[in-house]
């Protein structure tokens, strides 16, 4: 529940009508390193999806898979190559820039009791500036309707909110975020996971 990548999968599953059989792994106890989990996912990361024997990890790949396999429409991940390219860019931005900036700044403080790194904090601010620019004049982050990119980014931004990062400095992000809370299936479960 504390993992934004896991929560993004939960929200997309809800959006496409897939009932997940969720398994909670205690990472601190090393449950993700046990042989039975390594057999499913040798990279031992979460989330990991197993769908009728097919194992897949990396949350953003799982989001796309869920929509392509179970979506009744392609609205969350349209078939148009240009629309998909924009969605993919935003998914990679989430993975490599926005969420990575969270991990680089907050994880050392939480897991290693390290002091806050002001340079890492500047990377968070830069990431939010980019996101704010992407959202200029836009209701959604990659087109004119809710997509998997919005859901992945919504999970990440909600994690920043619970960590007390001031989102209000970014007008476009704040507007998009407030809308996302209203229109995204599974938002309540996402927020409960953040608070946990």
Catalytic residues: 3
Cβ-proximal residues to 115 (8 Å cutoff; 6+ apart), any chain: 109
Structure tokens at 179: 């809308």
Distance of CA 53 to the CA centre of its chain: 24
Alpha helices, H only, 58-186: 59-70, 81-93, 99-111, 118-134, 148-162, 171-183
CB 84 within 8 A of CB 148: no
Name the pairing type of β-strands 54-57 and 48-51.
antiparallel
- Whole-angstrom Cα Rg for the chain: 17
């Amino acid at each position: 529940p504390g993992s934004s990548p896991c929560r993004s999968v939960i929200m997309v599953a809800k959006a496409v009508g897939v009932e997940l059989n969720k398994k909670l792994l205690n990472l601190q106890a090393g449950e993700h390193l046990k042989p039975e989990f390594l057999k499913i996912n040798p990279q031992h990361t979460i989330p990991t999806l197993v769908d009728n024997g097919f194992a897949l990890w990396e949350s953003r790949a799982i989001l796309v898979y869920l929509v392509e396999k179970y979506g009744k429409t392609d609205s969350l991940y349209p078939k148009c190559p240009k629309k998909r390219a924009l969605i993919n860019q935003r998914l990679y931005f989430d993975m490599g820039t926005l969420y990575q900036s969270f991990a680089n700044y907050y994880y050392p403080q939480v897991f290693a009791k390290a002091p806050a790194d002001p340079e890492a904090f500047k990377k968070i601010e830069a990431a939010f500036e980019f996101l704010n620019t992407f959202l200029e004049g836009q209701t959604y982050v990659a087109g004119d309707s809710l997509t998997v990119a919005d859901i992945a980014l919504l999970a990440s931004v909600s994690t920043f909110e619970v960590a007390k990062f001031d989102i209000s400095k970014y007008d476009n992000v704040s507007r998009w975020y407030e809308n996302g809370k209203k229109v995204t299936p599974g938002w309540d479960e996402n927020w409960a996971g953040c608070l946990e």
